[in-house]
Structure 1
Amino acid sequence: MMKYTFILKYQLADHDCNPVALVERLGEAGFDDALVGIGQPGRLAQELTCEASDADEAVRSALACVRRTVPSARLIEVAPDLVGLTDVAKEGGGFRVQCPRSWKPWLDERRSRPEADAHLTRH
């Protein structure tokens, strides 16, 4: 197992953007050691350190937990480039997010080796 540190950024729905309530819900969901950013109205950012067997697992686990805790939040960015656009889009419900150029080699490798993603399942 390795530790992965990354940031998830979300756009919040108008009806679900009370910062105090969000921080409380995230803490109750197990994000009590995450650094939560709520300074931008309508946005939520989390810096997380997760222990997992690989970066995909770390990010997917955090995304699934946030989706259960704040279902109206829309993922807009994952940083740094630990996982690819396709993986983030799958976990985020199929929407597209901005893809940094540095993701291209990783995405190309995944496209050329579909068996590399055979272990990934959608929750």
Structure 2
Amino acid sequence: MAEQFEFEIIFSLPPGEHDPFILSDAVIEAGFEDALIGTGNPKLLAVELDASGEDAESAILEAARAIMRNLPAGTQLHEVRPDLVSLADVAAKLDVTRQTLQQREMPLQVAGGLYRINEIAAVIGRAALPEPGRRRPRFRADTAMKWFRAGEGARSLNAKLALKALDPRSLQAAPVVATELATRQEPDPSSP
């Protein structure tokens, strides 16, 4: 059964001038008329969108491939979000203040005030459950679930990009790394 996911794809554009209207048209031609398109940095194109798929990673890759077919040659996948998120990001999605979230027990930060989205999602999921004798939380977890569900796929794709297991131009498994990973032998736990 296909699920809905909300995520942002960041593309690195090749050197040169790129008309923001042509870039926007490329996203729309890929079938994402409702996407929010960011062209503020001349070296990057950001596309925030909703897509459906069997799992987050395949939905994100399918959307990225569809968009890249219409972008200038040499465009690369740079990053996928949400991956590491701030409390401000989470608060905006939940329609609450950052201070509201600071009152809850949060997981440890991993880098510069950022949290792994799957750890934050677990905290929010537990907090959304009504507790006997306590007031219901005042945030809208249901509206942010598409975003939280996309987090694991975004983290996985970013890791594959960093490890060079995913080619950022073709969005296919990198042959050298795939072969290397397949031939790598795991140590036998029974041997001394």
Scaled by the length of structure 1, what TM-score is found?
0.66
Residue 80 of structure 1 deviates from its aligned partner by 1.1
Per the alignment, residue 166 of structure 2 pairs with: 90
Per the alignment, residue 78 of structure 2 pairs with: 76
Identity, % of aligned pairs?
A: 31
Q: How many residues align?
A: 95
Contact kept in structure 1, 2:17 and 2:42, CA below 8 Å: no
Q: CA RMSD in A?
A: 2.3
Supply the AA of the counterpart residue of 1:77: E
Greater RCO (Cα-Cα under 8 Å, separation 6 or more): 1
Structure 1 stretches lacking a partner, 5+ long: 95-111, 113-123
Residue 91 of structure 1 deviates from its aligned partner by 5.5
Residue 25 of structure 1 deviates from its aligned partner by 2.0
Residue 10 of structure 1 deviates from its aligned partner by 1.3
Mapped to 2, the partners of 1:66 and 1:16 lie a distance apart of: 19
| Alignment of structure 1 residues 39-78 onto 2, 5 Å | 39-70=40-71, 71-78=73-80
Render the CA deviation track for 1:85-108: whole Å, top value 9, x for unaligned: 2278525244xxxxxxxxxxxxxx
Supply the AA of the counterpart residue of 2:77: L
Say which one has the larger Rg. 2
Q: Which deviates more, 75-84 or 3-12? A: 75-84
SS of the residue aligned with 1:14? coil
Scaled by the length of structure 2, what TM-score is found?
0.44
Structure 2 stretches lacking a partner, 5+ long: 84-150, 175-185, 187-192
Residue 67 of structure 1 deviates from its aligned partner by 2.0
Q: Which deviates more, 8-17 or 41-50? A: 8-17
Structure ranking higher in strand proportion? 1
Supply the AA of the counterpart residue of 1:64: R
Residue 68 of structure 1 deviates from its aligned partner by 0.9
| Alignment of structure 1 residues 1-123 onto 2, 5 Å | 1-15=2-16, 17-70=18-71, 71-81=73-83, 82=151, 83=153, 84=156, 85-86=159-160, 89-90=165-166, 92=168, 93=170, 94=174
